[in-house]
Structure 1
Amino acid sequence: MRWFGFGFNAFGQICVHDPNKGAGTDVAKEVKVIGPAELTGHVDRSGCCLKTSRIKASWSRRASLHLVGDGGVCLAGFQAVTSDESCGPSVVESRGCKDACISELYLTIAFSDRIESWDLQKKEKTPSWSMEIKTQSQGTGPLLNLPLVPGGYIATKPPLYRPLSPDLRAKSLALGAEHAVLLCATGAVYTWGLGSHGQLGHGGLTSEEEPRAVEALWGMSMSCVATGGWHSVCISDGGDLYVWGWNESGQLGLPSRGLRKATLQQSSQQAGALCQDTSSSPGEEPQEGEKHEEVFISIQAFPALLDVTPSCEVSTVSCGSRHTAAVTTTGDLYTWGWGEYGQLGHQALISSDEPQRVEFFREQQMRVIDVVCGTWNTFAAVVKEEVACP
């Protein structure tokens, strides 16, 4: 399995610049990586290359989880150029970990017997918060996925530990800028937190202090949830994608007035440069009887079904601050939303309110199996596409 990244790279969270290899045209010095670039592997003290199993990302950092053997967590990005000077735990201190999650302030690591949260703004050699957990034996169910921990979850800012009712039977949890989306073992979805952009999916813009079921999804079993800055998505057991929340940048894949207006302005400027006479421009208002009003959506306050591609189902999804990426069962990656840093992977700094396939992986005969969005970037795990013998 290989990992590729594209988008915001100001801190080297995608491509780490190695000064020993010279400057040249090193993509690591680029703030915007507009096309998929393969992530360089980490090497342990013995010189062995560590294989990345998972990626977790925040705005300025990337955490690579190496879960094979002793494994560990390696950081790339802000204050993480060298392990000796970086904040947070070293690879040695994270060996044996089972999972990790990262925010701008904290790196949380899960072991089989404990949870540790490290303050990334300090160079302390001990975690700022920790809790012991009972070692799970066979037959007691799967380990919870961070940020879920026994009895609650780890928030992005203090107080780090927040309790959850055991009645919810939490399966996975996604944290947005100021809201949360919870998937229960029953397939039900609950949300809480800030609701000013419709990101809670309850049909209004009010906030919720406690988890509340998304009634529009009631009766449909969901298998995956994800959150962006102010939008939310989930996948049903049947592979259908539901979206809700803020759509100003087209991050829901629904018609965005802001994006269409920007596109029209750009087209008008280009047309004006070619032709000074606009009296007979084809962009004039249509004649009477021809007018039709296009529907734009700035806020979608309840879940809407999004048809990413009519030919296949969605297997996994991830959200950035204002963009979304989904992997289909055929191994294709689709992205949409804000793309001014190249986070959509289309080899250009464009935004889109329609899901578009990232052609790079298809052209390289690669099958995408996972996707993780940072705030302004995207990371994709791929395997070589198996070609059937004639």
Structure 2
Amino acid sequence: MSSLLKDCSVSALVAGLIATVISYAGPLVIVFQAAHSAGLGADVLSSWVLAISLGSGVLGIVLSLYYRVPVIIAWSAPGSALLVSLLPTVSFNEAIGAYLVANTLILIVGLSGSFDRIVSRLPAAISAAMLAGILFSFGVELFRSVKTQPLLVVTMFVTYLLGRRLLPRYAVPAVLVVGTITVLITGEFNPQALVLDLAVPVFTAPTFTWQATLNIALPLVLVALSGQFLPGMAVLRNDGYQTPARPIIAGSAATSLLLAPFACHGLNLAAITAAICTGREAHIEPSRRYIAGVSGGVLYLVLGIFGTTVVSLFGAFPKAMIATLAGLALLSAIGSSLSSAMDDPADREAALITFLVTASGMSFLGLSAAFWGLIFGLFAHVVLRYRTSAKQSVKSLA
């Protein structure tokens, strides 16, 4: 305890708090949209918020203290985005079963230490294109909202651009603040929706079906490994932390398994918000930045306990604000995914096919667009790469 107090600093404490606030300002909004699309009740949504918040908080605190590294855990925003279109197609019991399957697979990957090998064999362009396709609808919905709330959406959009120009890391919180002020001024806020209460866990028994496994579990695994853990570990490595991936991945998956019946879809190593806590802004001494992971985890616990209040607070705002906030929060993720998908000329066509199929929202044989996007993309990758390899072999022989 004495060393913990000695290592405390205002900069590290604030960095952790900001990282958590950003998680609530953006990714949590997508969880609300997923719950609403599936018609889940407020009690289940509160349980969802409680589960992902407590899981993120406890894991972040324990891992940060044990390794003396700012380990920032959060729920998967791309995974939440995937659920917006998929939850309405299955029962919530089936979704819980898919969560358990997905996190069991991730746990196996974590315990086996095969994370790097698996990620290296999966075509980066294909997984990036699938992620871009999943997130595409959020970017589109952002601009569709202009029709219903032009003043609110345009104000938030301009705020985002100015934030990205002046204070890039705090652009999304700035959008939340300005959007809130605009809603209050225009009288769009609904105070009757507010409820001051503690969150209560709601247990949902899992049901296992092959449709839910292919539609939800498989994409969740791919998104978690390639879209969350991979960049998350890269952030840690970039700032000089050589923390092994195995305990972080295994710990996240094991915690997710325990919390899945209470609606937790998956906990991952954060990437974007983690950069706030791993850099010099948190503290000039890398050995004292772990305090940011602890402070962020504590705030997660507090907000999770008051999950019902958090849910009601977001419900008091107009849908256009929530859609705009979600779209802007995912804008950089959409851009980076598209950039990665188109980066390799040899896989550009396969990645484009993956993106178009996933973004189309198609459904065939009871299987979702994300699954078919992956299948079509991998098939195109094999065919086109085989053709290219064959031509190169002929040229080398000539």
TM range (shorter): under 0.3
> Which structure has greater helix proportion?
2
What TM-score, normalized to structure 1? 0.23
> Which structure has greater strand proportion?
1
What TM-score, normalized to structure 2? 0.23
Return the index of the structure with the highest Cα Rg: 1
Q: Which has the higher contact order (CA 8 A, sep 6+)?
A: 2
